[in-house]
Amino acid sequence: MRSLSEIETAVKRASRAVGFSWGNSEEVGKSIRQLELFGLQGIKNLNKYYKDKATKKFEDLNLIRETNESSLDAYCPVILGISFLDQIKSVENFKTIKFKKIAYPVIFLSFLSRASEISGKKIYAIFDQNEMLLNLNVNISSNFLNQEIPEFAKEIKIKFINNKDNFSDSDWNSLYKLAENTFVEESESLKQGAAGAGLTDND
């Protein structure tokens, strides 16, 4: 079995070989490593994409708007993903972000997962009706993880989810009341032994 560091290094070098800069290649390496860690077919899809890249014209999207549609065969998932990471502070303020025609969306998915960690917010995404939740680059929940991810997505919709507690104030107060039973009441001896509370100066 290949190690994650071996996968990342090979992907970085292969990406440089097909024309990406070393900086962009490093980003692809990190993203494909993450896909393989999550059990998604990163290497397989990247191989297919690089073969298609030699014969098809994929569009680079550098400025992301709320609605984006490729005028060519489809968007390049690598440049799209890197642009998303670079513009995370602006795109996270959009209500909904839509992309039409993306090649090998699983590659873009890995960048979305990393974007979730950078923003500190979960990302909800729909790939042609397939739903997924990206949780701070820790895991990906989806209703189609055991299926083949399509090579092209007609439309992807993305929403950032604002952080909030999954419990009520009543549940929290009840739990906190139990926790209070472990609090130790400060005694005079504890005060005496606290840092800086000594009566003599040893300096």
pLDDT, tens digit, 9 for 90 and up, residues 131-174: 899 999 988 887 665 567 789 999 999 999 988 888 999 999 99
Check pLDDT > 80 for residue 47: yes
Highest mean pLDDT among 82-91, 141-150, 179-188: 82-91
Across 34-55, average pLDDT: 93
The span from the CA of 34 to the CA of 126, in Å, is 20
Which neighbouring-strand residues pair with 69? 100
Cβ 26 vs Cβ 85: under 8 Å: no
pTM above 0.85, yes or no: no
Say how far residue 45 (Cα) sits from the centre of its chain: 18
Arithmetic mean of pLDDT over the chain: 89
Lowest-confidence segment of 7-16, 89-98, 143-152 by average pLDDT? 143-152
Label residue 128 by pLDDT band (50, 70, 90). Answer: confident
- Would you place residue 183 in the very low, low, confident or very high pLDDT band (cuts 50, 70, 90)? confident
Q: What's the pLDDT at 14?
A: 97
Whether the CB-CB separation of 98 and 127 falls below 8 Å is answered with: no
Long-range contacts of 72-76 (CB under 8 A, 24+ apart): 73/101, 73/103, 74/101, 74/102, 74/103, 74/152, 75/99, 75/101, 75/102, 75/103, 75/108, 76/103
Contact yes or no for 8/17 (Cβ under 8 A): no
The residue that leads in pLDDT, 195 or 161, is 161
DSSP 40: -
Residue 188 has pLDDT above 80, yes or no: no
Element (H, E) at 161: strand 152-161
Listing DSSP states for 67-126 in one string gives EEE-SSSEE-HHHHHHHHHHTHHHHTTSS-EEEEEEESHHHHHHHHHHHHHHHTSEEEEE
Q: What is the pLDDT of residues 50-82, one digit of tens each?
A: 999 999 999 999 999 999 999 988 999 999 999
